[in-house]
Amino acid sequence: MREEFEFFPVADLPWTPAGDGVAERVLSRGEGPTLTRMTRWRPGLDTSAAGVITHDFHEEVYLLSGDLTDLTLGRTFGPGHYASRRPGMPHGPYRTDSGCVMFEVRTPSRPVSSR
Protein backbone atom coordinates (compact mmCIF):
# COMPACT_ATOMS: atom_id res chain seq x y z
CA MET A 1 0.00 0.00 0.00
CA ARG A 2 1.23 3.49 -0.85
CA GLU A 3 1.86 6.10 1.85
CA GLU A 4 -0.95 8.58 2.39
CA PHE A 5 -0.39 12.35 2.54
CA GLU A 6 -2.57 15.43 2.25
CA PHE A 7 -1.20 18.39 0.27
CA PHE A 8 2.21 19.58 1.44
CA PRO A 9 4.92 21.82 -0.06
CA VAL A 10 7.26 19.57 -2.06
CA ALA A 11 9.99 22.23 -1.81
CA ASP A 12 10.23 21.38 1.92
CA LEU A 13 11.55 17.90 1.06
CA PRO A 14 15.34 17.61 0.84
CA TRP A 15 17.14 16.52 -2.31
CA THR A 16 19.01 13.32 -1.38
CA PRO A 17 21.65 11.45 -3.40
CA ALA A 18 20.18 8.76 -5.67
CA GLY A 19 23.20 7.77 -7.73
CA ASP A 20 26.12 9.41 -9.47
CA GLY A 21 24.95 12.87 -10.53
CA VAL A 22 21.31 12.24 -9.56
CA ALA A 23 19.35 13.55 -6.57
CA GLU A 24 15.77 12.73 -5.60
CA ARG A 25 12.85 14.05 -3.62
CA VAL A 26 10.74 11.05 -2.64
CA LEU A 27 7.10 12.08 -2.50
CA SER A 28 5.72 8.67 -1.46
CA ARG A 29 6.70 5.03 -1.23
CA GLY A 30 4.82 1.79 -1.15
CA GLU A 31 5.61 -1.90 -1.15
CA GLY A 32 8.17 -3.24 -3.60
CA PRO A 33 9.04 -0.83 -6.38
CA THR A 34 6.08 1.49 -5.72
CA LEU A 35 7.51 5.00 -5.65
CA THR A 36 6.66 8.57 -6.63
CA ARG A 37 9.58 10.98 -6.77
CA MET A 38 11.23 13.90 -8.46
CA THR A 39 14.74 13.42 -9.79
CA ARG A 40 17.31 16.07 -10.60
CA TRP A 41 20.18 15.23 -12.96
CA ARG A 42 23.29 17.43 -12.84
CA PRO A 43 24.37 19.24 -16.02
CA GLY A 44 26.63 17.10 -18.19
CA LEU A 45 25.48 13.76 -16.75
CA ASP A 46 25.97 10.89 -19.22
CA THR A 47 24.68 7.39 -18.38
CA SER A 48 26.46 5.63 -21.27
CA ALA A 49 28.48 3.51 -18.85
CA ALA A 50 25.23 1.88 -17.65
CA GLY A 51 24.19 1.09 -21.23
CA VAL A 52 20.61 0.35 -22.16
CA ILE A 53 18.54 -0.44 -19.05
CA THR A 54 15.33 -2.30 -18.22
CA HIS A 55 13.22 -2.52 -15.05
CA ASP A 56 10.87 -5.13 -13.60
CA PHE A 57 8.31 -2.41 -12.83
CA HIS A 58 6.16 0.03 -14.80
CA GLU A 59 7.71 3.50 -14.99
CA GLU A 60 6.18 6.82 -15.98
CA VAL A 61 8.38 9.90 -16.38
CA TYR A 62 7.40 13.52 -17.06
CA LEU A 63 10.18 15.99 -17.88
CA LEU A 64 9.63 19.22 -15.92
CA SER A 65 12.73 21.22 -16.90
CA GLY A 66 16.01 20.96 -18.76
CA ASP A 67 16.96 18.58 -21.54
CA LEU A 68 17.39 14.82 -21.84
CA THR A 69 18.95 13.12 -24.86
CA ASP A 70 18.22 9.45 -25.50
CA LEU A 71 21.52 8.31 -27.02
CA THR A 72 19.98 5.18 -28.57
CA LEU A 73 17.21 7.11 -30.30
CA GLY A 74 19.40 10.14 -31.07
CA ARG A 75 16.62 12.47 -29.86
CA THR A 76 16.57 15.25 -27.29
CA PHE A 77 13.50 15.88 -25.16
CA GLY A 78 12.51 18.93 -23.11
CA PRO A 79 9.89 20.11 -20.65
CA GLY A 80 6.47 18.60 -21.24
CA HIS A 81 7.72 15.31 -22.70
CA TYR A 82 6.36 12.11 -21.15
CA ALA A 83 7.37 8.43 -21.24
CA SER A 84 5.48 5.33 -20.10
CA ARG A 85 7.57 2.17 -19.93
CA ARG A 86 6.25 -1.33 -19.32
CA PRO A 87 8.40 -3.78 -17.36
CA GLY A 88 11.29 -4.99 -19.50
CA MET A 89 11.16 -2.11 -22.00
CA PRO A 90 14.73 -1.15 -23.00
CA HIS A 91 15.59 2.56 -22.71
CA GLY A 92 18.62 4.82 -22.56
CA PRO A 93 21.41 5.49 -22.15
CA TYR A 94 20.93 9.22 -21.63
CA ARG A 95 22.82 12.49 -21.53
CA THR A 96 21.75 15.91 -20.30
CA ASP A 97 23.63 19.06 -21.24
CA SER A 98 21.87 21.59 -19.00
CA GLY A 99 20.62 19.15 -16.35
CA CYS A 100 16.98 18.22 -15.89
CA VAL A 101 14.23 17.63 -13.36
CA MET A 102 11.74 14.81 -13.85
CA PHE A 103 8.58 13.58 -12.09
CA GLU A 104 8.55 9.78 -11.89
CA VAL A 105 5.99 7.18 -10.83
CA ARG A 106 6.91 3.50 -10.42
CA THR A 107 4.33 0.75 -9.97
CA PRO A 108 4.76 -3.02 -9.72
CA SER A 109 4.31 -5.16 -12.80
CA ARG A 110 1.58 -7.05 -10.96
CA PRO A 111 -0.48 -6.11 -7.91
CA VAL A 112 1.23 -6.39 -4.54
CA SER A 113 -0.70 -8.63 -2.15
CA SER A 114 -2.56 -6.85 0.64
CA ARG A 115 -1.79 -9.32 3.42
Going from the C-alpha of 62 to that of each of 39, 45, 55, 78, 95, the distances in angstroms are: 10, 18, 17, 10, 16
pLDDT higher than 60, residue 112: no
User: Domain span at residue 81?
Assistant: 16-39+48-108
Specify if 4 maps to a domain: no
Specify if 10 maps to a domain: no
Question: What's the pLDDT tens digit per position in 32-60?
Answer: 899 999 999 999 999 999 999 999 999 99
Residue 87 is part of a domain; what is its CATH number? 2.60.120.10
46 sits in the region (left: phi over 0; alpha: psi -120 to 50; else beta) called beta
Number of domains the chain contains? 1
Specify if 27 maps to a domain: yes
Its pTM stands at 0.89
